[in-house]
A and B are shown apart, each in its own frame.
Chain A
Amino acid sequence: MSIKIIKKGISDRIIDAGRYGFQHLGIQPSGPMDYLSAQLANTILDNDLNHPVFELHFPASVFEFEETMFICICGANFVPVINDKSVALNTPIKVNPTDQLSFLQPIEGRSCYLGFKGNLDESKKWLNSFSSFQTTLNKGDHFVIHKVTEIDISINPFKQHTIQQVQKNVFNEHEIRFIPGPAWNDLAPASIQLLMQEPFRIDAKSNRMGFLFNGPAIHLSAPKDYLSSAVTMGTLQLLPNGQIIVLMADHQTIGGYANLGQIILVDLPRLAQLNNQCPFKLSIINVQTAHQLYRSIQSWFKH
């Protein structure tokens, strides 16, 4: 049983929850941009939450399936079609031999997740993770899937609830919340006001390494040099030109720009799916509330 790439997308890869434990060597985690949609695809397919999935960006790859198997598409809506017939998001789909899956146009969101039932060969792991490392999917790539016991996969009330909650949390217009970082107090007071009041948009030059924000120019009270220290997904850095960049899934492991704060885990999937034309505002939250929110969203994935 296998999945074949028959046309290359702009920037697609295989990911799992990420490659942790090696950042001290400069090796980044390479996890998903939107972990909630990736977890959702796995929940719908009764997989482990950490099971590998394909992460797709538009224009996305075209896939061909060699045998009957179950797949599920979550996250961004790129209008998926199988042999030119439209298929639904957030539901198990049974595909047949020679079926081709392609994506027609980006309607909402930036990152789409293609989950599958069955296991990749363990030898495909590097440093305990299936996540692609500085590579993307190419035409001709071939993923052998070890079949698992054939059972019919269906949507039950538990999954229905998880789907609704994830959709509600990822695709909405809420503020993006952050916890102030070490350089927050170095900001000019007028810049703090702008940051808290003005809307921002995501710049077209953004990618998996980082999202550049378009908005008012932000400045420190006085120029300051910082020693490089660890950064994570969601770190808000201030560039010398006054622009903000938020580090995303393929972030460097350390950074030396002013660290203004950190977007909370719960809001990262929403930011990751925001289209360039959508304005958003930033707001401050404390760590206790951020933890409560994270615990509550992770409870959606437990029976």
Chain B
Amino acid sequence: MQSQRPIFQIQLLGDHAIVYKSNTGQLKGIDQDLLAFTQFVMNEKINGLKDIILAYDTLTLVYDILYFDSNPFLFAHTILEQFNASKKCLNAIENKSIIEIPVCYDLSLGIDLQNAIKASNCSIDELIQQHSDKIYTVYCLGFLPGFAYMGDVPNAIQLPRHPSPRSKVLAGSVGIAGKQTGIYPMNSPGGWQIIGRTPIRIFDPASPSLTLFKAGDQIKFKPIDLASFHTLNAHEDVH
């Protein structure tokens, strides 16, 4: 059993956060042990932990100094040992359902689509198929509330960020930046190449769950036409 226990490297993030880093090296989706460990820590509701942030190959715990003894490595190990003892390691990933997101890849919404097909040397239909056939993993949320960094985008349609960001990208816009794809949760400046737009809201400050995604989720995009987009459009720009 010993060999099955996940081993994470433990690092300090200053005096009020610790980082567990998985040693998987090459990223092929999120490390399942790290994901299971994240769920364990969230469920434990440990006093003094202020935030639990999973991002790519790291899990960061932000803590209140006053709740813990002065050696952060020690309590970092203790939490990991509790996890190992809990035997939840390998069967904690219950939620494997794929979240389907409707996206309209119309030229009027995918404002960089024209550029994108030139750069990838393919047709619009091919690009749409490449982008929407794939099941993406949410590696982390950040940049804006609810903004999910998803990957990996197929090689053929990877596009670099714009050299300088646009001053306004509309909420729901679906973009590509290198290996990553993501959806703008709100109107915001942004540098990703916009290839389409989803009519649904992925961040709602008034809803109990706030965001549609969390790290570790599986996402698939479903192409829809412009008429369906307008029918479903839940953004504030709806006429």
Pairing of A with B: yes
A residues at B contact (CB < 8 Å): 20-27, 29, 126-127, 133, 178-179, 181-182, 227-232, 234-235, 252-255, 259, 261-265, 287-288, 290-292, 294-295, 298
Which residues of A have CB within 8 Å of B145?
25-27
**How far is A241 from B11 in the complex, measured between Cα atoms in Å?**
26
Contact of B214 with A by CB under 8 A: yes
B146 touches A298 (CB 8 A): no
Contact of B171 with A by CB under 8 A: no
**How far is A22 from B62 in the complex, measured between Cα atoms in Å?**
11
B14 touches A295 (CB 8 A): no
Which residues of A have CB within 8 Å of B211?
25-26
A230 touches B53 (CB 8 A): yes
**16 A–B pairs (Cβ distance < 8 Å), ordered by A:** A23-B53, A24-B215, A25-B210, A26-B185, A230-B13, A230-B53, A230-B55, A261-B14, A262-B17, A264-B15, A265-B65, A290-B15, A291-B65, A292-B70, A295-B65, A298-B66
B141 touches A178 (CB 8 A): no
Contact of B19 with A by CB under 8 A: yes
A18, closest chain B residue (CB): B50
B56 touches A232 (CB 8 A): no
B residues at A contact (CB < 8 Å): 11-17, 19, 27, 50-58, 60, 62, 65-66, 70-72, 140-147, 149, 185, 205, 210-211, 214-215
B14 touches A235 (CB 8 A): yes
A267, closest chain B residue (CB): B15
Nearest Cβ on chain B to A249's Cβ, whole angstroms: 14
Q: Please pick, from B19, B52, B205, the residue contacting A24 in the complex, using a CB distance under 8 A.
A: B52
Most chain B CB within 10 A, of A182, A228, A259, is at A228
Q: Please pick, from A182, A232, A288, the residue contacting B62 in the complex, using a CB distance under 8 A.
A: A232
B14 touches A178 (CB 8 A): yes
B146 touches A262 (CB 8 A): no
Nearest Cβ on chain B to A276's Cβ, whole angstroms: 24
A252 touches B14 (CB 8 A): no
Given contacts A23-B51, A253-B141, contact A262 B15 (CB under 8 A): yes
Nearest Cβ on chain A to B182's Cβ, whole angstroms: 11
